[in-house]
Structure 1
Amino acid sequence: MPFTTEVYPGVNTVVPEETLGFTLNHTMLRIIDPEVSLAFYSKVLGMRVLRKLDFPEMKFSLYFLAKVDKSENVPEEIGARTQWTFSQRGILELTHNWGTEDDPSFKYHDGNADPKGFGHICFSVPDLAEAIRWFDANNVQYVKRPEQGKMKDVAFIKDPDGYWIEIVQASLLTQLGRA
């Protein structure tokens, strides 16, 4: 029998027909300075900007980023690329409210300070040790290095706005959470 779901109280074990085709498309983070955040996500994490949408009447811009394989056929035409972007999985939306970059005291809540709420996003990497060397070479700020704390082989770094990013190597996690 194929895997469908782990079962816990409250889990619906049957996928409702009405939800077939639903896709978790993106997660949004608010950013202060697009130039700084785009440099981090495009250089340090290798993401590509798929689309930028500006909303002058509301004074904000949206940047949609993803890890795109070289083999993927991303449409060049703007409308087709917008449609393609909103049909993908694992997109990161960076929202810039205009003017925040001009206020040196402005800061977004990272979700990990009190009161806690949002926690982090996560990147899986093929080689955690290599990723750590890359982050070190790029002066990335750590919350936790892989050798620190009780959870070994898991790192947490911070983006320019202080959001936490978990870094994992899937092959090192086969025993994670087992007694």
Structure 2
Amino acid sequence: MSFKGEQHPGVQAPTADSLGFRLNHTMLRVKDPEKSLAFYTRVFGMSVLRRLDFEELGFSLYFLARLEEGEPVPEEAGERTVWTFSQKGLLELTHNWGTEAQDDFAYHDGNAEPQGFGHICFSVPHLDAAEAWFDANGVEFIKRSDQGKMKDVVFVKDVDGYWIEVVQADRLAGLGETPLDK
């Protein structure tokens, strides 16, 4: 029998109506796209798949992903837009025009009071090497892998103060415990 997901109170069986649904992207609002794009492309190796501008509304959307070597991406803008919205695990950075020029402007990061949104997460092949890379690039740490009660989990901040969890999957087998594990 194939795995159908853990069962907990509130979990309901999917119906055919949601067949084909999948998470495409998570959106973060950014103050200055140049600084945010530099951070996510340099530090996390992401590429901008598509930029969409909405002049009447005064904002731009940047869709980023970590592409695999040789992964085919459509060149034509319309085809690439369709392709982008069919992917999974994208990061959308939304820039409301003019915020970059406002010295006192900042978005709520979700972790200050009142708490709400928490973080996004990247998995990396080697957590220790990632920590060294973050140090070499002046990335601000919230928590290193050897700190706190949850070992082997790193938290850093991006240029807008959003938290980013960084994990190495094969170091997490013993993370947490649920009643199902007993």
TM-score scaled by structure 1?
A: 0.98
Give runs of aligned pairs for residues 1-179 of structure 1, distance below 5 A: 1-12=1-12, 14-178=13-177
Letter paired with 1:153: D
- Residue by residue over 1:71-90, the C-alpha shift from the partner in whole angstroms, topping out at 9 and shown as x without a partner, is 31110011110000000000
Matches of 1:109 and 1:123, distance apart in 2: 21
Tell me how far 1:147 sits from its aligned partner. Answer: 0.8
Segments of 5+ residues of structure 2 without an aligned counterpart are: none
Aligned residues: 178
Specify the SS of the correspondent of 1:167.
Answer: strand
Specify the SS of the correspondent of 2:132.
Answer: helix
Matches of 2:158 and 2:136, distance apart in 1: 15
Matches of 2:119 and 2:63, distance apart in 1: 18
Matches of 1:178 and 1:97, distance apart in 2: 41
Q: Percent identity?
A: 65
After superposition, the CA RMSD in angstroms is 0.8
Segments of 5+ residues of structure 1 without an aligned counterpart are: none
Matches of 1:163 and 1:46, distance apart in 2: 17
Tell me how far 1:116 sits from its aligned partner. Answer: 0.3
Tell me how far 1:15 sits from its aligned partner. Answer: 1.8
Specify the SS of the correspondent of 1:129.
Answer: helix
Tell me how far 1:178 sits from its aligned partner. Answer: 2.8
Tell me how far 1:23 sits from its aligned partner. Answer: 1.4
